[in-house]
Structure 1
């Protein structure tokens, strides 16, 4: 009699990705795949078993075409007339980490599992990051 193998959430590794020169959407899909764990042969849809992803140089990510001026990020303050908008160019100038996070989080599942996966993404605008102790493996994105 064989026992059924159930993957554990503790089997995660740390991956380092350099976003410099990469297109935002293509980079985000590969990051979402790693965080979700779909690259693993023992992928289970209801378990947060993906990798922790550290993204550096978020300020050097590329948006193609006219997206820098046409892509608009909106948020609502909760007050009347409180709909705030900013273009991708302004957002990349102010907080480039949020641009990558927004793209990746839109590709993750919504609900309890998605909120658990949000903690696995660490984005930094420069080339320095505080996760050296975890010894992340540098991954080359095509």
Structure 2
């Protein structure tokens, strides 16, 4: 008996609108689509997920006091070079990076996770240059 190995020939594009959606719900949906967990032939050691386009990144919602309490840090490499910014500041400057960072944290670590992360396209507004790929629109289920 031969072992079934799924083919990785299908590359779908999907569009997700982030307007009014909580960041965590959006990130889990996007990470799951990028990994390919929605497919019946999901295989953890293969990249077989979709390309995901996220629109309206500036309109994503953080619940509770996370806009002021959530802090993003990075280290410059120099002494005393720990830089911090709140989620409110990050959303004002680069709203795309907030979503990219949330999704990246939910992907596998290593070379496969970095390859999966390249399938994520995030835009602050509602325009994107991927119309020739004919992406499907996906609705995010969230409670208001």
Q: TM-score range by the shorter chain?
A: over 0.9
Q: Name the CA distance, whole Å, in 2 between partners of 1:47 and 1:83.
A: 36
* 1:78 match: 77
2:119 aligned with 1:120, yes or no?
yes
Q: Name the CA distance, whole Å, in 1 between partners of 2:140 and 2:74.
A: 31
Q: Name the CA distance, whole Å, in 1 between partners of 2:42 and 2:88.
A: 37
* 1:14 match: 13
* 1:52 match: 51
* 2:31 match: 32
1:6 Cα shift? 1.6
Query: Could you list the runs of 5+ residues in structure 1 that have no partner in the other structure?
Result: none
> Matched residue pairs, number?
141
Alignment root-mean-square deviation, CA: 1.0
* 1:66 match: 65
Q: Name the CA distance, whole Å, in 2 between partners of 1:138 and 1:82.
A: 42
* 1:43 match: 42
1:88 Cα shift? 0.1
Q: Helix, strand or coil for the counterpart of 2:99?
A: helix
Q: What TM-score, normalized by structure 1, do the two folds share?
A: 0.96
Q: Helix, strand or coil for the counterpart of 2:25?
A: helix
Q: What TM-score, normalized by structure 2, do the two folds share?
A: 0.95
Q: Name the CA distance, whole Å, in 2 between partners of 1:98 and 1:8.
A: 32
